Structure 1
Amino acid sequence: MNTSPRILVVEDDRTVRTVVNDYLSGQGFSVTAVDNGSEVLARFAAERPALVVLDRMLPGLSGDEVCRALRATSDVPIIMLTALDAVPDRIAGLESGADDYLAKPFALKELKLRIEALLRRSRQAGAAPSEFGLGPFRVDPARRHIRRDGVPIPLTTREYELFLYLLNNPGRTISRDEILREVWQWQFGDPSTVTVHIRRLREKIEEDPRFPVHLKTEWGSGYRFDLRGGEG
């Protein structure tokens, strides 16, 4: 029985698709590669991959549309590939639900490392501690679930890791650079990645994201998480 992680690669450029498919297969992954967004949902339902590598610029359904459709039913890790390296384009990909992104051209080894990091975090649930509570939130590490007042909060892999890091550092102002190091395990990167994920978290945990009571912005410094939801 093949126990290699299944990776679904969605890329319309034949050369890129073939190179990524061959490289990841050679690194021990089981790879399914498709060339358009319309085919993704059926393949995803049939094969249940451990991770999706998704080109943003696709014929038919765009990568953003595919990402949103996957997010409606799954928290599978998604790495977005984009030929558009401008900050607004990267932000748009992250806001559609991607956990990570790589701008083309990219190094195959970096793609592999990003895949391994996301898969490693997904597998950590096997040795997870028991459930525990933090303020109004309850964390179930075994299933990587977080509930607020008993209501489950739907989180992607990256959102879960970010939220857990914030929960474990209540009342402390945390810079975006520190979040990139500790949550993304990047020594350098685009801070807007953190900004987008903070915004997505607020939409899920705050009653009114425009006026957050838990996840505060400390202008010029970073973010502060208040378990009690107090003022300030």
Structure 2
Amino acid sequence: MAAVLMIEDDDRIRMSLGLALEDEGYTVRAVATAEEGMASQRQEPADTVLVDLMLPGIDGFECIRQLRRDGDVPIIVVSARDDTHDVVAALEAGADDYVIKPVAVKELSARLRALRRRARPVAVAPQIMVFNGLEIRPQAGEVLLHGNQLSLTRTEFRLLCELAEHAGLVLSRQQLLERVWEYDYGDERLVDVHIGRLRQKIEDNSATPQRLLTVRGLGYKLQR
């Protein structure tokens, strides 16, 4: 049974959403502040963390950054804030997904299941793939740049492997949503922000990318 840590300061939402997720088969641990949530995750790691952005004390953005520094646990933002700036800022802080309140529990449960599937080993060919100093070892779950191992989140790793498996081919945002996030539909900003984060790690200079390229109007490709 998957364990979910919910960090939500609204008592009503915390109780109702927690009960609904338990009905979906999850074990839910719910807290009201970022401080409580981070301490709880360090003591007893959950499989997935749900984070509200408008929290007392440490806000959701900083909570995400600290959780991400501590590990690669999948993080979903659950927030009423739907402004593009807030969505992008939360994803750039390290969140894997973003759900707008009011929450459809069935949709949230489907996203939690997709995140769990993405946590499994990548089912790709065992060969090592090399792209101009970037070395991808799918079976080992490792990525090296000029011999130095990179720290990628699970989502970033799966995104990179998907692009590597189709090296030289353009993959649209919708194709990447379907193949990496396993969503039939979704917010394409998820893809754009994760591409940006990935470039920060795999490019010698992310301002002038040489490996992970944008093909305007079409999507992205990994160039050998």
How do residues 97-112 of structure 1 correspond to structure 2 at under 5 angstroms?
97-112=94-109
User: What is the match of residue 199 of structure 2?
Assistant: 202
Q: Distance in 2 between the 1:180 and 1:130 partners?
A: 21
How do residues 51-130 of structure 1 correspond to structure 2 at under 5 angstroms?
51-122=48-119, 124-125=120-121
TM-score, normalised with respect to structure 2: 0.92
Q: Distance in 1 between the 2:10 and 2:184 partners?
A: 30
Q: Distance in 1 between the 2:207 and 2:95 partners?
A: 22
Residues 6 and 50, structure 1, Cα contact 8 Å, conserved in 2: yes
Q: Could you report, residue by residue, the CA deviation over 1:191-227 in whole angstroms, capped at 9, with x for unpaired residues?
A: 2221111100000111110011101111111112113
Residues 131 and 138, structure 1, Cα contact 8 Å, conserved in 2: no
Q: Distance in 2 between the 1:70 and 1:132 partners?
A: 32
How many Å apart are 1:149 and its aligned residue? 3.6
Give the aligned CA root-mean-square deviation in angstroms: 1.7
Letter in 1 for 2:203: E
Moved more, 43-52 or 83-92: 83-92
How do residues 38-49 of structure 1 correspond to structure 2 at under 5 angstroms?
38-49=35-46
Runs (4 or more) in structure 1 with deviation over 4 Å come to 127-131
Q: Could you report, residue by residue, the CA deviation over 1:102-149 in whole angstroms, capped at 9, with x for unpaired residues?
A: 001120111111111101221x22x8678531113132435x332334
How many Å apart are 1:12 and its aligned residue? 0.6
User: What is the match of residue 180 of structure 2?
Assistant: 183
Q: Secondary structure at the match of 2:70?
A: coil
Are residue 134 (structure 1) and residue 129 (structure 2) matched?
yes
Moved more, 198-207 or 146-155: 146-155
Letter in 2 for 1:22: L
Letter in 2 for 1:175: S
Q: Could you report, residue by residue, the CA deviation over 1:161-214 in whole angstroms, capped at 9, with x for unpaired residues?
A: 111101111111111121112212222222222111110000011111001110
Q: Distance in 1 between the 2:180 and 2:188 partners?
A: 12
Moved more, 207-216 or 151-160: 151-160
User: What is the match of residue 222 of structure 1?
Assistant: 219
Q: Give the unaligned 5+ runs of structure 1.
A: 228-232
Q: How many residues align?
A: 221
Are residue 15 (structure 1) and residue 9 (structure 2) matched?
no
How many Å apart are 1:26 and its aligned residue? 2.3
Q: Secondary structure at the match of 1:173?
A: coil
Q: Secondary structure at the match of 2:62?
A: helix
Q: Distance in 2 between the 1:181 and 1:96 partners?
A: 23
Alignment identity in percent? 38
Q: Give the unaligned 5+ runs of structure 2.
A: none
